[in-house]
Amino acid sequence: MTNGLALDRQVCFELYAASRAVTQLYRPVLDELGITYPQYLVLLVLWERGPRTVKQLGEALALDSGTLSPLLKRLEASGLVDRVRSAEDERSVSVSLTTAGEALRDRAAAIPRMIARATGLSASELANLRLTLKAVAETVCSQQLEPLMEKK
C-alpha cells in the first residue's frame, strides 16, 4: 500500500523545491544589478509592455497592490522607475522606466539564457514546462476545494 502523504509523492513539494532552486539561481546575478527577484519581475513587464498602471502590473504578476507598492517604492528610490498619479483618477498610479531602468535591460539581457542553461533542459523541454506550469496555475486558481473537516 502506498502512502499518499509521503513527501516524495507531493506535487506541491516538487513545485516548491523547484521554485526555490530556480529563484536562488537568480540571486547572485540580480545582486550585481542591485535588484531583487520580485523587482526583476516588475522590470520584465515594463521592459516588455512599457508604462503600466499599478493595477496592470498587479494583474500581470498576480500580485496585490499591498505587495506591489513597496516594491515600486524601492525601485523608484533606486532611480529605476517613476510613479505618477493620474490627474483624472487619483487612485490610479502609472509606472514607467527611467533612463537608468531602460539601461538596466541591456545588463539583464543574458539572464534568461543563463537560467535556461542551468536547468539542463532543452529549449523545447523548457517551453513545454512553462506551458504545463501555466496550465496548472490557471486550473488551480479556478478551483475551490471542499472543506476537509466537517463543520461542528
Q: Based on the fold, state whether residues 24 and 69 are members of the same structural domain.
A: yes
Q: Is residue 150 part of a domain?
A: no
In whole angstroms, what is the distance from residue 30 CA to residue 52 CA?
A: 22
Instruction: State the pLDDT at residue 150.
Output: 61
Provide the pLDDT for residue 151. Answer: 58
In a domain, 148, yes or no: no
Q: What is the pTM of this model?
A: 0.87
Cell 545582486 found at: 31
Angle formed by the axes of helices 65-77 and 37-49, to 10°?
80
Q: Strands across the sheet with 52-53, in order?
A: 52-53, 93-97, 81-85
User: Does 57 share its domain with 97?
Assistant: yes
Closest C-alpha to 84, from 73, 95, 75, 74:
95
Rounded to the nearest 5 percent, the helix, strand and coil shares of the chain are 65, 10, 30
Mean per-residue pLDDT over the chain, rounded? 92
How far apart (Å, rounded) are the C-alpha atoms in residues 110 and 118? 13
Which segments of the chain have a pLDDT < 50?
none
Q: Which domain holds residue 95?
A: 10-109
Q: Can you say whether the dihedral through the CA atoms of 5, 11, 14, 16 is positive or negative?
A: negative
Q: Kindly state whether residues 23 and 91 are assigned to the same domain.
A: yes
Total domains in the chain come to 2
